[in-house]
Amino acid sequence: MKRFNRIIGVGLSLVMITVLAVGLSPLSSKAADTKTLKIGLITALSGAGAVWGRGILHGAEMATEELNARGGLDIGGEKYKVKLVVYDDKYTGAGGAAAVHKAVFSDKVKMIIGSISSASVLTMQETTEPNKILLFSNSWARKVVSPKKPYTFRMFMTSTQAAPYVARAVKDMYPNAKKVVTLAANDASGWSIGGDYATAYENLGMEVIKEFPERKTKDYYPILTRIKAKNPDVIQECALGVGAAALLTKQAKELGIKAPVVGGAWIDPKTFVKSAGGVENAEGYIYPIVFDRNSKAPGIVDFIKKFRAKYGDKESITTVDPSFYDATRMVFAALEKAGTVGDTGKIKAAMEGIQEFNGIFGKMKWTGMETYGINHQILQPLSIAQIKNGKEVIIIEKPKR
């Protein structure tokens, strides 16, 4: 009997110790009540678009870490911490197909952020749309946004929105310009972007000569020699990539071409100057910009500070990084507004219902009905910049829409 009482006593003591230990644990009750929401992220972490592709990852990571540090999402009265499930599509359609298949059918995600590659996104949509998986993409291909693809939102400005402002700015800077050569990659992205810029200049009454170099072109001298003979007033580079745009600008100067080189996409100025082989070769390059790194706006200053603290000084901040920081925050806002993590129809409706979102650049809103037939295209504030003495200088502040 005494032995039995001792056993009972020890058992009760252990129970009491356990209860006390649980009660003293600051994470116990919250951890038990907090669920995990997986969101897929498919982007180019290797391949030709990796510099921009990492921007999607950086922005989403920063927004997610901030959210989780605040306690996560409050959805329908339940708490959720967000976990990003990351896949590398290698900037290819095949990579996108493999990644989306794993995300949807193996990892069971209901939402995907990315990708930057048009080939990847167009392939991904073959899986996401019929399965009602929400896709928050970057890709610039025009046919990514369509009434036939209602579960896709484009969270980044494209050439369709930027081209008219860039062309108008160039025409204002060079009022006597009559002839422009557009250079766009010979692929789906290039055809779409090149078409946007050609149309924009044609609408201003300018003659357009179109060139479509291969994406892997390493020497633009033959093309530029042909272009020089046509005596253009403007050379419009159509988002060939930072390295390609820098090489094109450098080689145009070396051939004595006087026409200004205008970029079709936002760039990292340090990377551009380095890729061009120095300040002199990069001088005068003009391009659209959403993200003004020299801005004193509190949101931008705070973002840069946090970015540097997390990723260091060696990693470039492109326009994609802060854009997808804002985009991911919009996704979180839609989730809380919808009050569900599983009903993608309700989440879609909640995202569509966001009339304006306070991004770190300013007010963001949905557009696209006139162009695409559906308001699933984000519209951000836009300015025009130029490389001067190796530095990025804003020359036109937010042109009127």
Q: Where are the domains positioned within the chain?
A: 2-31, 34-157+296-367, 160-289+384-396
Mean pLDDT of 147-163: 94
Which SS3 state, helix, strand or coil, does residue 387 take? strand
pLDDT over 50 (residue 11): no
Give the C-alpha separation, 138 to 116, whole Å. 5
Mean pLDDT of 9-33: 43
pLDDT at 400: 46
pLDDT at 62: 98
pLDDT over 90 (residue 353): yes
Whether 34-157+296-367 shares its CATH topology with 160-289+384-396 is answered yes
pLDDT over 90 (residue 271): no
pLDDT at 215: 87
Least confident among 16-25, 196-205, 213-222: 16-25
**Four-way CATH pick for 34-157+296-367: 1.20.900.10, 3.40.50.2300, 1.10.150.80, 2.40.50.140:** 3.40.50.2300
pLDDT over 50 (residue 373): yes
The closest alpha carbon to 120, from 104, 100, 134, belongs to 100
Q: Which residue has the higher pLDDT, 2 or 286?
A: 286
User: pTM for this one?
Assistant: 0.79
Which SS3 state, helix, strand or coil, does residue 100 take? helix
SS3 for 286-330 is EEEECCCCCCCCHHHHHHHHHHHHHHCCCCCCCCHHHHHHHHHHH
pLDDT over 80 (residue 49): yes
- Report residue 398's pLDDT band, with 50, 70 and 90 as the boundaries: low
- Report residue 295's pLDDT band, with 50, 70 and 90 as the boundaries: confident
Average pLDDT of the residues of the chain: 90
Give the C-alpha separation, 294 to 389, whole Å. 15
Q: CATH topology for 160-289+384-396? A: Rossmann fold (3.40.50)
Q: Which helix (H) or strand (E) holds 140?
A: none
